[in-house]
């Protein structure tokens, strides 16, 4: 192993254009049907080969754990166990995606770790092998290995690529709260959802296949909002503010609390972001777009 050799990878965050929950499985997980979409907001991870006894991580945010509880370190451990490679590694994370925000920030970092280490050590692991490692770390990790526009079913690991969406003008805003995904799913009463509560995922897919963004945007829906917004009403305030400031539509991503709004122009998006900042409704606000490269 070439000690000192390093590479840097970007780990892109995601939003859910549609998130439906179909039922609770005997395993405790939930069967979902989602349209996932990467956005142009990313973390950067640098991997460097070290002496065999070195296994460490650093980050720009002191509140992020750098021990064995971090998904990055868990992914690195799994990689070395899978490949049998005996080497040290140091990993540095520059964190930009909001934490505990419904944007798969931890999952995308884990995916970037699997991809980055596979490249750094020139392994021949297939994408299927990486996906199998990823799903043991979290349901969103297999998707994050691919990114772009994707239908995700099962617990999120059954993936069907969709045509790339044309770019959208987005404002992504995270209120100053953190939400437990586990708590949200445990609180969701799936058997009490009506037909109207569910999401028209098939209609969204048709819109994507026909390159009809309007058909997708008008169908934006997330069944988890019924749980999270009831507990954290400030999420609804963020949505309302976006809609009152020229958003075509707005939606909570994942289990929250992050909200994204879709705007006709970048200028409209910037103005809405300024209003959110003025009102103090979010402590992390980004004007960005989709990522499909």
CA 157 to chain centre: 14
CB 145 within 8 A of CB 111: yes
**Interatomic CA distance for residues 76 and 85, integer angstroms:** 11
CB 252 within 8 A of CB 239: yes
In a domain, 1, yes or no: no
- Indicate whether 11 and 155 sit together in one domain: yes
- Indicate whether 107 and 157 sit together in one domain: yes
- Indicate whether 195 and 228 sit together in one domain: yes
Which pLDDT score is estimated for 115? Answer: 98
- Indicate whether 109 and 39 sit together in one domain: yes
CB 234 within 8 A of CB 225: no
Phi/psi for 279 (5° steps) reads -80, -10
Report, as residue numbers or ranges, the catalytic residues: 14, 140
- Indicate whether 99 and 155 sit together in one domain: yes
Return the bridge partners of 46, or none: 8, 92
Chunked mean pLDDT (size 10), the chain, 293 residues:
91 98 92 97 98 95 90 97 95 95 95 98 95 93 96 94 96 94 92 91 98 97 96 97 98 96 98 98 97 88
Last residue of one domain, picked from the residues 132, 161, 190: 161
CB 261 within 8 A of CB 250: yes
In a domain, 249, yes or no: yes
Is the full-model pTM beyond 0.85?
Answer: yes
DSSP assignments along 273-286, one per residue: HHHHHHHT--SEEE
DSSP assignments along 100-165, one per residue: TSSS-HHHHHHHHHHHHHHHHTT----HHHHHHHHHHH-TTHHHHHH-SEEEEEETTTEEEE-PPP
- Indicate whether 137 and 173 sit together in one domain: no
Last residue of one domain, picked from the residues 140, 161, 182: 161
Which pLDDT score is estimated for 1? Answer: 66
Which pLDDT score is estimated for 161? Answer: 97
Which pLDDT score is estimated for 273? Answer: 98
- Indicate whether 202 and 262 sit together in one domain: yes
- Indicate whether 283 and 255 sit together in one domain: yes
Which pLDDT score is estimated for 186? Answer: 93
- Give residue 252's domain range: 169-288
Q: Looking at beta carbons, which pairs linking 237-240 to residues 24 or more positions away fall under 8 Å?
A: 237/281, 238/173, 238/175, 238/276, 238/281, 238/282
Q: Which is it for the CA torsion 152, 289, 146, 107, positive or negative? A: negative
**Interatomic CA distance for residues 80 and 262, integer angstroms:** 41
Cis preceding linkage at 162, omega within 30: no
- Indicate whether 35 and 119 sit together in one domain: yes
- Indicate whether 149 and 56 sit together in one domain: yes
Last residue of one domain, picked from the residues 161, 187, 209: 161
Q: What is the domain count for the chain?
A: 2
Tell the burial category of 160 from Cβ atoms under 10 Å away from its Cβ (0-12, 13-18, 19+): exposed
DSSP assignment, residue 244?
Answer: H
Q: CATH number, domain at 186?
A: 3.30.70.890
């Amino acid at each position: 192993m070439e000690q000192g050799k390093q590479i840097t990878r970007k780990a892109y965050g995601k939003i859910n254009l549609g998130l439906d929950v179909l039922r609770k499985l005997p395993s405790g997980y939930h069967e979902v049907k989602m349209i996932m979409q990467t956005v142009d907001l990313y973390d950067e991870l640098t991997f460097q080969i070290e002496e065999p006894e070195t296994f460490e991580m650093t980050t720009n945010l002191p509140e992020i754990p750098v021990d064995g509880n971090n998904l990055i370190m868990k992914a690195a451990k799994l990689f070395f166990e899978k490949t049998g490679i005996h080497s040290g590694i140091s990993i540095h994370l520059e964190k930009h995606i909001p934490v505990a925000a419904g944007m798969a920030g931890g999952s995308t970092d884990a995916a970037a770790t699997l991809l980055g280490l596979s490249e750094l050590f020139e392994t021949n692991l297939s994408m299927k092998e990486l996906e199998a490692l990823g799903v043991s770390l979290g349901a969103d990790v297999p998707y994050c290995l691919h990114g772009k526009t994707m239908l995700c079913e099962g617990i999120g690991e059954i993936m069907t690529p969709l045509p790339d969406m044309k770019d959208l003008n987005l404002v992504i805003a995270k209120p100053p709260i953190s939400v437990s995904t586990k708590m949200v799913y445990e609180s969701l009463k799936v058997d009490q959802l009506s037909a109207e509560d569910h999401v028209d995922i098939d209609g969204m897919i048709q819109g994507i296949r026909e390159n009809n963004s309007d058909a997708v945007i008008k169908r934006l829906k997330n069944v988890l909002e019924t749980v999270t917004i009831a507990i954290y009403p400030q999420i609804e305030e963020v949505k309302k503010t976006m809609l009152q400031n020229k958003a075509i539509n707005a939606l909570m991503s994942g289990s929250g609390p992050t909200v994204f709004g879709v705007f006709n122009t970048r200028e409209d998006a910037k103005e809405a972001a300024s209003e959110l900042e003025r009102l103090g409704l979010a402590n992390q606000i980004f004007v960005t777009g989709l990522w499909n490269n």
